[in-house]
Structure 1
Amino acid sequence: MMKQSEIYRGSIISLHRVGRTNAQIAMQLHISKPTVSRWLQRHKDTGKLTDKPRTNRPPCTTSEQDQQIRSAVERNPLLTSSLRIIEHQNLRCTQQTVHNRFYAMNLHGRKPARRHHLTEANREKRLEYALKFCEKAASFWENVVFLEEKTFYSTDRKATKVWRKNGTRYDAQHVVSDGRSGRIGAALFGGVHASGVGELTDIGPGHITGVKYVKLLEEVFLPSVRLLYLYPSQFFLLQDNSPIHNAEVVKNWFKAHPEINVLPHPPGYPDLNPIEHVWAAMEKTSQ
């Protein structure tokens, strides 16, 4: 664009030197007559066809106000509103100016991570679980079926933004607790294994119970194992620590199937089950 502008300006001077009027120059170059007059005068006064140097606008916030903006976002990176900052500090600037101050602090607007609340006891049990299984060979995990039921909820949760530095996604102050709207969309049951994905079935209306879970194990889980996993004489099953999974009727069913070894699972976070990644992909696709 700069080179093109310089060519046009040079053309104005050349046409003027050969006797063309301002109107003729404007018509030939498809520009306005005031533009022709301005560059002819600029060339006459300075002998140049360059733009005048521009002076930077003075900042619309003081260093003290910038520090207040920094303090506000550090105090509450999840709920910080640029509009609220402008109103609270009586700033005469746009929201983009406040965002620019964030960027200057190396803060970026990101979608926050979500997770369930964990107690200190939960954390200790998760660590104990990780240390117990972290050195298991790949051959061990290839003999594990990961099983779970999942209820997909509709939600009216508004998008949330957190202002944070890169690499701080899972810092406590940048994470929001997950919540549900309570409007059930669909309840599903399924499993995954190193060799493939098992049958996905609709659990149906109503809450899942121990009796209903046993029916799913018998009519959905076992046929999937026989079909996909060739039903080895012994294999492992990983399911979360839901009270339904620990119901007496469920325990009795597993006792009647000694070929299935149920792995222990710590309370809290279901994310330790890899099938959660499948559910997450399904949720993302459905949005």
Structure 2
Amino acid sequence: MFTCKETRAVIIALHKKGFTGKDIAASKIAPTSTFIGSSRTSRSVSIVVKKASWHPRKSSKRQDRLLKLIQLRDRGTTSTELAQEWQQAGVSASARTVRQILLEDGLVSRRAAKKPLLSRKNIRDRLIFCKRYRDWTAEDWGKVIFSDESPFRLFGESGKKLVRRRQGERYHQSCVMPTVKHPETIHVRGCFSDKGVGSLTILPKNTAMNKGWYQHIFREQLLPTIQEQFGDKQCIFQHDGAPCHKAKVITKWLGEQNIDILGPWPGNSPDLNPIENLWSILKRRVDKQKPTNSDKLQALIMQEWAAISQDVAQKLIDSMPGRIAEVLKKKGQHCKYKLHVIVNKSL
């Protein structure tokens, strides 16, 4: 498709845009005999094309723009489907050629991120919430105690596992990830602040979280945590808009306990709650130890929860101003704020 000179120019341009050698090689923009080398210190690129055949470009710049518009209209369209649509515009090209042209504009195929669906109301509520708290500092967020529920399943939470194996070891016991049709699930409710993790309650099996159970957990677990971490100082409690949280009896009871509520909390907004990062840390720690039954799973959940350091909790709370700013920047859309460093260091 390209001459040697053009290939070199395209590779250098992609490298300057931040694409790694692996990304460029995967695009097959150059023949397999092309060597691509890069230096992290100098950020230079050395390319040696041993053999390359010249092919005239099959499309004009205008046709290339059309291809990109088709792709941007539906990001999930495959390169084969794009080639078929492009053919209707008079360009006969392979799926590989389509991928190469899109790569020139930085359009690389990646796994779609999974996020809760945001309705117009969700987006509006997220903006209202973030504008209300946009001036809060990390010190202000230190007065908040965050809470949430989360499920834990046997045999791990992740849907993908990488293993190193030799030929013929694909089904070796140490190289497979066990699955069951109906994995046992344990539901927990926990809370934390910048003072550290608080109470963690494991719900009895087949117990639905209703206003009665919620008031019981609050009285027996959350109130002692608030007293332990804040004493006589005023704190603000965060919970989402689940029906049992908004029940009149709960609202009245919280008022009688002189507990202020953060919010109103916007729906479908786990990215704004730092406890989601805490669940991620906890699940990875528990999964690493491979519990084989419900009792071991419960014991590990409690053990690893108690082992989460106050330093991790502090960093998560300190991230709140950044989360708020990110959502405002994205005009209410999902915040990509992820604390990979904190999660990795805590494992």
Pairwise TM-score range, normalised by the shorter structure: 0.5 to 0.7
Write the deviation string for residues 6-51 of structure 1: whole angstroms up to 9, x where unpaired: xxxxxxxxxxxxxxxxxxxxxxxxxxxxxxxxxxxxxxxxxxxxxx
How many Å apart are 1:254 and its aligned residue?
1.2
Aligned to 2:186: 186
How many Å apart are 1:67 and its aligned residue?
5.0
**Is residue 218 from structure 1 mapped to residue 180 from structure 2 by the alignment?**
no
Q: 5 Å matches for 1:1-287? A: 56-59=53-56, 61-63=58-60, 66=64, 69-77=67-75, 79-86=76-83, 93=94, 95-151=95-151, 185-204=185-204, 205-227=206-228, 229-258=229-258, 260-271=259-270, 272-282=272-282
Q: Secondary structure at the match of 2:213?
A: helix
How many Å apart are 1:191 and its aligned residue?
0.8
Which is worse superposed, 244-253 or 135-144?
135-144
Looking at structure 1, the residues matched to 97 and 203 of structure 2 have their Cα atoms a distance apart, in angstroms, of: 51
How many Å apart are 1:145 and its aligned residue?
0.6
How many Å apart are 1:257 and its aligned residue?
1.4
Higher relative contact order (CA 8 A, sep 6+): 2
Q: Which runs of 5+ in 1 are unaligned?
A: 1-52, 159-181
Matched-pair contact (CA < 8 Å) for 1:60–1:92: no
Looking at structure 2, the residues matched to 132 and 138 of structure 1 have their Cα atoms a distance apart, in angstroms, of: 15
Task: Label 1:55 to 1:261 Cα distance change in 2 as closer, same or farther (>3 A).
Answer: closer
Matched-pair contact (CA < 8 Å) for 1:146–1:273: yes
Matched-pair contact (CA < 8 Å) for 2:118–2:268: yes
How many Å apart are 1:107 and its aligned residue?
1.2
Matched-pair contact (CA < 8 Å) for 1:238–1:273: no
Amino acid at match of 1:276: E
How many Å apart are 1:241 and its aligned residue?
1.7
Looking at structure 1, the residues matched to 226 and 141 of structure 2 have their Cα atoms a distance apart, in angstroms, of: 15
How many Å apart are 1:65 and its aligned residue?
6.5
Q: Secondary structure at the match of 2:199?
A: coil
Identity between Structure 1 and Structure 2 (%): 24
How many Å apart are 1:102 and its aligned residue?
1.6
Amino acid at match of 1:223: P
Task: Label 1:75 to 1:121 Cα distance change in 2 as closer, same or farther (>3 A).
Answer: closer
Q: Secondary structure at the match of 2:187?
A: strand
Task: Label 1:92 to 1:283 Cα distance change in 2 as closer, same or farther (>3 A).
Answer: farther
Q: Secondary structure at the match of 2:117?
A: coil
Task: Label 1:255 to 1:266 Cα distance change in 2 as closer, same or farther (>3 A).
Answer: closer
Q: Alignment RMSD, CA only?
A: 3.6
Matched-pair contact (CA < 8 Å) for 1:151–1:184: no
Looking at structure 2, the residues matched to 55 and 136 of structure 1 have their Cα atoms a distance apart, in angstroms, of: 59
Looking at structure 1, the residues matched to 281 and 102 of structure 2 have their Cα atoms a distance apart, in angstroms, of: 32
Q: Secondary structure at the match of 1:268?
A: coil
Amino acid at match of 2:81: R
Write the deviation string for residues 132-184 of structure 1: whole angstroms up to 9, x where unpaired: 222234433222111112246899999xxxxxxxxxxxxxxxxxxxxxxx988
Amino acid at match of 1:134: R
Normalised TM-score (structure 2): 0.50
Task: Label 1:184 to 1:231 Cα distance change in 2 as closer, same or farther (>3 A).
Answer: farther
Matched-pair contact (CA < 8 Å) for 1:187–1:203: yes
Aligned residues: 208
Looking at structure 2, the residues matched to 139 and 208 of structure 1 have their Cα atoms a distance apart, in angstroms, of: 32
How many Å apart are 1:56 and its aligned residue?
2.9
Normalised TM-score (structure 1): 0.58
